[in-house]
Amino acid sequence: MPYLTKLFFVSLFILTLVGCDISKQKSENRPNIIFIMADDHAYQAISCYGDSLNSTPNIDKLARSGLRFNKSFCTNSICAPSRAVILTGTYSHINGHIDNYTTFDGSQLTFPKLLQKAGYQTAMVGKWHLKSDPTGFDYWNILPGQGQYYNPDFIENGVKKRIPGYVTDITTDIALEWINKRDEEKPFCLLLHHKAPHRNWMPAPEYLSKYDSIQFQIPRTFFDDYSTRGYAAREQKMELGRHMMMAYDLKVPDYHGDNNSGLESWKFIFDRMDSVQQDFWNQAYFYKNKAMIDANLSAEDLKKWKYQRYMQDYLSCIASVDDNIGRVIEYLEERGLVENTIIVYTSDQGFYLGEHGWFDKRFMYEQSLRMPLIISYPKNIVASGVNENLVLNLDFAPTFLDYAGVEIPERMQGKSLRNILESNPNNSWRDAVYYRYYEYPGPHSVKRHYGIRTNRYKLIHFYYDEDYWELYDLVVDPDEVNNIYENEEYLELIQVLKLRLYELQNDYLDTEEDRFLPAGNIEVDHIAWGCPVKLKYPNNKKYTGGSKNALTDGRKLSDSGNYSHDFSVWQGFEGDDLEAVIDFNKETVITSISCGFLQNRSSWIFRPDKVSFYVSENGIDYSLLEEVKANISAKSTDVKRINVSVETEQMKVRYIKVLASNMGICPDWHIGKGKKAWLFVDEIEVN
C-alpha cells in the first residue's frame, strides 16, 4: 500500500476513534434529567418551605443539594393545562389545552420530542391526564385519567393492565425499572409524575393513622367572609364546610347528614381494594368515624372536623410521595448518577389547605398560583440555595433543552433558568408574571379571570359573566383579604399595572379576551317551534330544560364551539328512554328531523344507544323513517353535543315521534357501575 494511502487510512482511523471519544464524551457531559411532579402538592406542605404542617425529609434533602424557588408560579392553575404548558413551553392559548375537557394535541412541538431527537432516551411514567396518547417518549406507562390510589390501572405503551398495590409506590417501581434497563451509553430524560396528593386523598396502608394524634392549626383565613371581593370568591364551590363530600372526600360513608356525600363514588373506589386492604382501611377509620358521628357536631365544629380529616389524609399521601423521592435519590446515589443528573421536584400547581375556607386550586390567589420548585444538579448548582426570582412552569421546557445542548425553539415562550441556577446575573429577567384561567362554567364554579403578579402587587380581572377587578398589596396583605382596587390612593398604581398587563398580553400573543369562551345556548327557528310535546317517560325534575315543552322551545346548545356547563337548556332522563311525540295540530310538510344529545360521561350522561324517528298522520299508526345507532362502547371522555338527524323527501305528517334509548345503567368500566345512566336532550328540530 502506498505511503500516502496508508497515512490516509491511519489518519481516518484515528479521527474515527477521536470522533467516537468526542461523541461519547458529549453524551456523558449531557446531564440526565429526572422531572418529578406531584399533583396538587401545596408548597405549604413541604417542610423546607418553612411551614410546620408536616415533615418531608427527602424533599428537604433534595433542596439542600440544589436550589429552592420561593416565587415559582403556574400560568393556569388546573391539572391538564399546566401539564400542557410544561411540555410545550407555551401558554394555554397557544397550545390549545385551556381546561380539563380539551384533548392535548400531541402533534405539536414538546421538549421530550426535541430531547429524543437529540439522542436522549425518554420515558413518561405516572399521571398523564391529557387524553391523547403520549408522544416523544421511547417508553410510556401512564394512569388512565386521574388514576386510582389502590390497585391502579396503568397503560403501558398502549396496553392496559391492573397492578396490585399502592399507586405512589408502583409509579416509582416502574420508573426505577426503566432507568435500570436503559442504554447506559446515552443520557436519559424521565418524567415521573405522581397521582398523589390529588383528591380524594387516600393514604397508603402504612400511613392510614399517621396524623390521628395531631391537631392542625386552622389557617388565619379559614372563616373568610370575602367581604371586599367580588362574586367569584363568594360563588365558588370549593369550601370545606359546604362542598367537601363526607363519603368520597372524608371517608365517612355512614354519615347521613349530607345529601352530597359522594357515596357511590366512594363505593366504587373502596370496591377496588382487595380484602386485606379493606380490612386495614376499616380498622383505621371505623372507630374514629363512629366517634365523629356520635358527637353530633354543630355546623361550625363539623367544618373544623372536616379540616382536620382533610389534613390527615392529604399529608399522609404526601408522606408516601416523600418516601418514594427518597427511593429515587438512594437509587441514583448507589449507582453514582447523582452528580450528572438534574432532579426537579414540583407540582402541577398549588393547592388550598383551608386558606379562605377552601380546598382545590384555580384562583389566582397565592396558594393555588404558587408552586413548589426545587432543582438539584450537584455538578453545576450550588447547594442549599434559595431564589426569589419570578419563575413560571413555562420555563421548564427551555431549561431542560438548554442543559441538554438543544436549541430552544422560538415558539417557546418561557425562559431558561440556567443562569439563575448557576448564580449568573441576569438583568433581563421578568418583573411580572401573567396568568389566565378558563374553565368556567365548570367544576367548583371558579369564574374566568386573568391578571398580573409583580414582586409586590397582584391585579386580577374577572370577566365573561362578570366584569370587575381586584388589587392586592402582598407586602401589607399577604393573605389577600383586602381588595384595594376601589381605593383612590392606588389609581396611579392601577394604571401602571394595567399597562404592564397589556404589554404582557401582547408579548404572549393573548390579546383576544373573548377567545375560548364556551358556546352558549342559541335560538333556532323551525316548524316544530312551540308545538306541544308529550313524553312517555317524564324528565327528571332537576333538569327540566326550563319548561314542559323544552324540546320545542327553540333553545339549544351550539353544534360547534366549546361546551358550556349551563344545564338550563337540557331535559334530563335518569335511567329512562326519551319517547317524545310532537303534534303539529295539522298536516305539515317536513324534509328533516334532528335531535341534540349531550355526552358527558364524567357526569354519567351518555349518548343514546340508538335513535328512531317515526311519523304518523293520525297519532296511532306510526311509520319508521330511520333508526340511527350510536357507538356506546367507546370510552371517550370528551364533553360535547351530538346531533342525530334524518332526512326525507317532502312528506305530509301531523305527528312525529322520537325514541332515544337510554343505556339504562352505567357500564362496568364506569365509576357509576350498576347505577342509572342519564340521557340529556336539548331540542327536536323539524324542517
CB 411 within 8 A of CB 109: yes
pLDDT in tens, 505-524: 999 999 998 888 877 788 89
CB 677 within 8 A of CB 663: yes
Q: Which whole number is the average pLDDT over 544-570? A: 79
Poorest-pLDDT segment among 389-403, 463-477, 512-526: 512-526
At 675 the pLDDT is 85
At 432 the pLDDT is 98
- Report which of 51, 90, 93 is spatially closest to residue 413, judged by C-alpha positions: 90
Is residue 191 exposed (0-12), middle (13-18) or buried (19+ Cβ within 10 Å)? Answer: buried
Place domain 3-203+318-416 in its CATH homologous superfamily: Alkaline Phosphatase, subunit A (3.40.720.10)
pLDDT in tens, 432-467: 999 999 999 889 999 999 999 999 999 999 999 899
Which residue ranges make up each domain of the chain?
A: 3-203+318-416, 521-686
At 9 the pLDDT is 41
- Report which of 512, 475, 471 is spatially closest to residue 489, judged by C-alpha positions: 471
User: Which cell numbers hold the place of 284?
Assistant: 383505621
**Does the structure show a pLDDT above 70 at 12?**
no
Residues in the chain: 687
User: Which cell numbers hold the place of 419?
Assistant: 443562569
Looking at this protein, which amino acid is placed at residue 316?
A: S
Poorest-pLDDT segment among 2-16, 110-124, 297-311, 380-394: 2-16
HEC assignment per residue over 398-440: HHHHHHHCCCCCCCCCCCCCHHHHCCCCCCCCCCEEEEEECCC
pLDDT in tens, 623-675: 999 998 865 544 555 677 888 999 989 999 999 999 999 989 988 877 777 88
pLDDT in tens, 596-632: 898 887 778 988 989 999 999 999 999 999 998 865 5
At 115 the pLDDT is 98
Bridge pairing between strands 67-73 and 385-387: parallel
| CA angle (454, 460, 463) in 5-degree steps | 150
Q: Which letter, b or e, does each residue of 596-631 get, where b requires 16 or more Cβ atoms within 10 Å of its Cβ? A: bbbbbbeebbbbbbebbbbbbeeeeebeebeeeebe
**Does the structure show a pLDDT above 60 at 260?**
yes
- Distance, in Å, from the CA atom of 214 to the CA atom of 227, rounded to the nearest integer, reads 32
DSSP assignment letter at 33: E
Question: Considering the domain 521-686 in this protein, what is its CATH number?
Answer: 2.60.120.260
How sure is the predictor about 565, in pLDDT bands with cuts at 50, 70 and 90? low
Q: Which whole number is the average pLDDT over 307-319? A: 98
Poorest-pLDDT segment among 244-248, 252-256, 298-302, 565-569: 565-569
User: Which cell numbers hold the place of 687?
Assistant: 324542517
Question: Cis omega (within 30 of 0) on the bond before 441?
Answer: yes
Residues 6 or more apart from 244 whose CB is under 8 A from it? Answer: 250, 306, 310, 359
- Distance, in Å, from the CA atom of 633 to the CA atom of 23, rounded to the nearest integer, reads 50
**Does the structure show a pLDDT above 90 at 366?**
yes
- Report which of 673, 513, 686 is spatially closest to residue 604, judged by C-alpha positions: 673
- Report which of 240, 234, 243, 267 is spatially closest to residue 253, judged by C-alpha positions: 267
**Does the structure show a pLDDT above 80 at 429?**
yes
